[in-house]
Amino acid sequence: MGPRRAEGARLEQDTTGDDDWGTACSAPCDKQLSTAYWYRIAGGGLRTSSQFSLHGEAGARKTLRVSPASTGWFIAGVVAAPVGGVVA
């Protein structure tokens, strides 16, 4: 089978450090995000990922590719996260 899209997959952000997750964007996404917070992937029938941080220089572009652990299928709903300053 070919690639499939992760409908409803979202990038969540914890801005408080208290496990208080909110949606930063939904796939597909092309949004400037802060490197100061923790992130995780959730929704879209996916098992919620472990938390991770984004690394990069201001203006750099990072692409997150999400694969569900249970099937190993590539998810074509790519979340693109340009790294930069805090989004208001």
Contacts of 87 (CB under 8 A, 6+ apart): 31, 32, 33, 34
24 occurs within a structural domain: yes
Please report, rounded to a whole number, the percentage of residues in the chain having pLDDT higher than 70: 67
Q: Is 66 within the bounds of a domain?
A: yes
Domain assignment of residue 28, given as a range:
10-84
Domain total of the chain: 1
Nearest-5° Cα angle at 24, 61 to 22: 150
CB neighbours (10 Å) of residue 51?
15
Confidence (pLDDT) at 31: 87
pLDDT tens figures, 22-42: 999 998 888 888 889 999 999
Mean pLDDT of 65-87: 47
For the segment 43-75, what is each residue's pLDDT rounded down to a tens digit? 878 888 999 998 888 778 888 877 665 433 333
Which two tokens mark 33? 């995000």
Q: Does some domain include residue 75?
A: yes
Residue 4 is assigned to a structural domain of this protein: no
